[in-house]
Amino acid sequence: MPLRTISIKKIAKRKAVFLLLISNVFFFAIPLYFLVIGFWEINSCPGSPYLPPWMIIVALLIVIDRLIFWRRLVNETKFEKTFPRPSLIGSVERIKTWEENRVWSSSRTLLGLMAAVRVAIFRTHRKTVEF
pLDDT digit string, tens, across residues 87-122: 767 677 877 887 777 777 666 677 777 788 878 877
pLDDT of residue 6: 52
Whole domain around residue 82: which residue ranges? 3-130
pLDDT of residue 119: 83
pLDDT digit string, tens, across residues 2-60: 545 556 666 667 777 788 888 888 878 889 999 999 999 888 878 788 888 888 988 98
- In this prediction, residues 62-88 reach a mean pLDDT of 79
Instruction: Residue 117: name the closest of 72, 63, 54, 52 by CA.
Output: 63
User: Per-residue pLDDT for 124 more than 90?
Assistant: no
Element (DSSP H or E) covering residue 50: none
CB 53 within 8 A of CB 38: yes
Burial state string for 75-96 with b = 16 or more CB within 10 A and e = fewer than 16? eeeebeeeeeebeeeeeeeeee
Q: Domain count for the chain, please give it.
A: 1
> ∠ CA(57), CA(21), CA(63), 5° rounding?
10
CB 75 within 8 A of CB 107: yes
